[in-house]
Amino acid sequence: MDPVPAKGTRRCAAADEADPTPCEGRPAAVTVIARDGTQHTGCVHHTARLLASLEGARLHPSAAALPWACEVYCRAAQLPPFAWQIGR
């Protein structure tokens, strides 16, 4: 079985259910838009992981005005898709 987050741990909407890692920083840092238009708003950590995992995903244009958007992109560039499946 995959590890399950501790009970009562609230995480941002961008965190995958199978991803046991906690949020980092503000819970609504940026919004990731999936290829099908679905939007996922979350912390820098989880949006970067989502961005690396969803093919064709991008950040919401409003992220251009945010100083941490670059960090999300840089983190995503260094992550494999679905990093939590290999324990990262």
Residues that bind Zn ion (CB under 5 A): 11-12, 15, 23, 42-43, 46
Q: Closest approach of Cβ 74 to Zn ion, in Å?
A: 17
In the block, tokens 């939007």 appear at 39
State the Cα–Cα distance between residues 50 and 21, nearest whole angstrom. 13
Q: How far is the CB of 82 from Zn ion (least distance, A)?
A: 15
Q: Where are the alpha helices (DSSP H) in the chain?
A: 44-53, 69-77
Q: Shortest approach of Zn ion to residue 46 CB, angstroms? A: 3
